[in-house]
Chain A
Amino acid sequence: MGALEAVILTIITASTPLLLAAVGELVVERSGVLNLGVEGMMVMGAVCGFAAAYTSGSPYLGIAAGITAGIGMSLLFAFLTQSLVSNQVATGLALTLLGLGLSGLIGEAFTGLPGVKLPKIWIPVLTDIPFIGPILFGQDILVYVSIALTIAVAHVLFKTRIGLVIRAVGGNHHSAHALGYNVIAVRYACIAFGGACAGLAGAYLSLAYTPQWIENMTAGRGWIALALVVFSTWLPRRLAIGAYLFGTVWIMGLYVQGLGIGIPSQFLSSLPYLVTIVALVVISGNRTLTKVNTPACIGQPFVPDR
């Protein structure tokens, strides 16, 4: 395996959890809800995914457990913000703090244990093609799922009635309500979808990226996913590009570190966070790009009158 091939493979594995979590949050925000709890849902997905896979020996049960944990956390958020109209920013923060604490508690029993790794697929002939084979046809199943999911979200959002309703609810919840759409129900569904994606992204970390449980192993990836959604100006295509850009930055930092160049490792480790800030600044400074696509109702509470 050549060095370039190895780098590309790790970039794909590093980008996949970002893409998974961000594509879910994109749908949530398109429906007019800001869920800052991605980090919390993700870390719960990671610990539950690891625990289920370790206990059962099946990485696929781990994936299912990760998704379930993500949905469970997101429904907590949905109940507070939609049924009790609590402040979305504060509730999202609460979700993250709770997720980090709870995952630490659950994960204590699993720290340092060998994990169950999600296998990579192998297609005869195709995977054997040098260089291209392992990259295109030799990934684990979730890499393909993440890309398929992004395409599916783009299609549903912009080509189907369901997507039209989601965008309508996020653009003007009063009008959507007046037309007879159930704003709260649409948002519950979108939040749950976002939770499932974040949980899946977390499970990917503990089953494929580094198959073990380490406390706080999400290391801010949930927050970066949130920034990616802003960066994408709420368009799935740009989101995919952004996720892979960030994955590349993340890996390049590690890779340069490995080369033994005299740059302190801490500076390279801080690159993804600094790049996130720069990306936010660049995209936010461009009003024409952001304003048209920004869901107008984002973060605003909605209480239907009776």
Chain B
Amino acid sequence: MKLILEKRQEHSQAMAYLSPVIAIALTVVIGGIIFALRGLNPFEALFIYFIEPVTTLWSLEELAVKAAPLVLIGVGLAICFTANVWNIGAEGQLTAGALLGSAIPILFTGWQSPLTLVAMLVLGAVGGALFAAIPALLKNRFGANEILTSLMLVYVAQLLLDWLVRGPWRDPKGFNFPKSVTFEDWQLLPTFGDGRVHLGAVFAVIAALVLAVVMARTLKGFEVRVIGNAPRAGAFAGFSRNKMVLFCFLLSGGLAGLAGICEVAGPGGHLQPNVSPGYGFTAIIVAFLGRLNPVGVLFAGVLLGISYLGGEAAQVTLGISDKMAQVFQGMLLFFILACDTLILYRIKLLFGSQLRQVPAE
């Protein structure tokens, strides 16, 4: 048997929509098989994983909390990846944003003003953007691979945070726990409903919608797509690749930083060594599952949020490791990438007699 790819004349629009659906279906099927192999009822396990999280108001609110950072970071990364700029250090930029934004409640504890929170959010975004500017500048100035530098900086940011919350920024009244002082009311994001959904969810929706318009209607969005598709044509159109690298890193870093400060000033209320359960990496999957389209990212962020919630629920109800969620996420990305082949190619499987007509490559 031999697998042959036949190039389509144009992109298949249908497949562009179908491919994530197929990928999700395949992930669910393989997931069910894994559950069955572990001696669980696969239907029950899948129900707990993927359906139950969206059945109660409580869990829906929790979902909004989880999906918000994924969408915020995911839309930024979607723009990067569309432009063929590979920022994979969003986790570090998130950390940097959380750090810089927290400087106000930790260092200026007494400053109480409506502007406090605004300043925190701005500093959060600035922190993420500045941290993201490092790989961009190293790429533009020295040609250093941005994938590797942005990733290395994740470790650096996390170690910096670790040092701060165990050292200079540790809460003196915190019984030696590695955490900062707890933020005051005016330093926390306003919330909705039961009090867990915070302003971050609003930011996420706004970011997705604004970037959707930018990508579809503006010259900047056009520039992003041209440079990602055909860099030579981009230069011919008068667009600068270097400026695009910087733009993408500043944008995605800023959004990651905003997500970071929202995590701290939202559900957390203080800095601790782990500000995120890997949102910066999961957002890579969100970006691809959302077809690198901001509106798609909105849906994808919700779906990946479900996998986090389902993972927690399954751990409690079924005693399955929460690592299972990460496996689901990894599998999902694999299947999306595989299914994306269908957008540009037709796949043909050749057997026996047909095979002899095909030359050895």
Contact = CB atoms under 8 A, between A and B. Distances in A.
Contact-residue bracket for chain A: 35 or more
Nearest to A305: B7
A172 interface: no
Contacts of B326: 97, 100-102, 104-105
A177 B144 contact: no
Interface stretch (B110-118, B195-203, B337-345): B337-345
Contacts of A285: 141-144
A266 B138 contact: no
Interface in B146-188: 147-149, 151-153, 155-156, 159-160, 162-163, 167
Contacts of A93: 88, 284, 333
Contacts of B338: 80, 84, 86
Interface in A73-108: 76, 80, 83-87, 89-91, 93-95, 97-102, 104-105, 108
A237 B82 CA distance: 37
Contacts of B285: 94, 97
B59 interface: no
B329 interface: yes
Contacts of B194: none
Contact of B341 (A85, A185, A284, A287): A85
A303 interface: yes
B323 A80 contact: no
A225 to B, nearest CB: 10
A225 B3 CA distance: 33
A230 B139 CA distance: 14
A101 B329 CA distance: 8
Nearest to A90: B337
A98 B333 contact: yes
Instruction: Report which residue of A85, A97, A226, A270 has the largest number of chain B beta carbons within 10 angstroms of its beta carbon.
Output: A97
A80 B330 contact: no
B159 A266 contact: yes
A276 B152 CA distance: 8
A304 interface: yes
Given A80-B337, A182-B360, A270 B159 contact: yes
Contacts of B167: 264
Contacts of B358: 306
Given A266-B159, A304-B361, A281 B138 contact: yes
Instruction: Report which residue of A185, A227, A266 has the largest number of chain B beta carbons within 10 angstroms of its beta carbon.
Output: A266
B324 A220 contact: no
A230 B152 contact: no
B155 A273 contact: yes
B344 to A, nearest CB: 8
B17 interface: no
A266 B155 CA distance: 10
B327 interface: yes
Contact of A98 (B7, B138, B155, B331): B331
A262 B142 CA distance: 34
Chain A at the B interface: SS class:
helix
Contact of B321 (A76, A104, A184): A104
A131 interface: no
A90 B156 contact: no
Contacts of A306: 4, 358-359
Interface in A255-270: 264, 266-267, 269-270
Contacts of B345: 85, 303
A86 B337 contact: yes
Nearest to B34: A105
B3 A105 contact: no
B334 interface: yes
A36 interface: yes
B163 A264 contact: yes
B330 A97 contact: yes
B275 to A, nearest CB: 15
A152 interface: no
A223 interface: yes
Nearest to A275: B152
Contacts of A269: 159
9 contacts: A36-B147, A80-B338, A90-B333, A99-B330, A104-B323, A104-B326, A274-B156, A277-B144, A304-B361
Interface of B: 3-5, 7, 81, 86, 88, 138, 141-145, 147-149, 151-153, 155-156, 159-160, 162-163, 167, 281, 284-285, 288, 321, 323-331, 333-334, 337-338, 340-341, 345, 347, 358-361
- 8 shortest A-B CB distances, which residue pairs? A101-B326, A98-B330, A266-B163, A104-B323, A94-B333, A105-B323, A285-B142, A266-B159
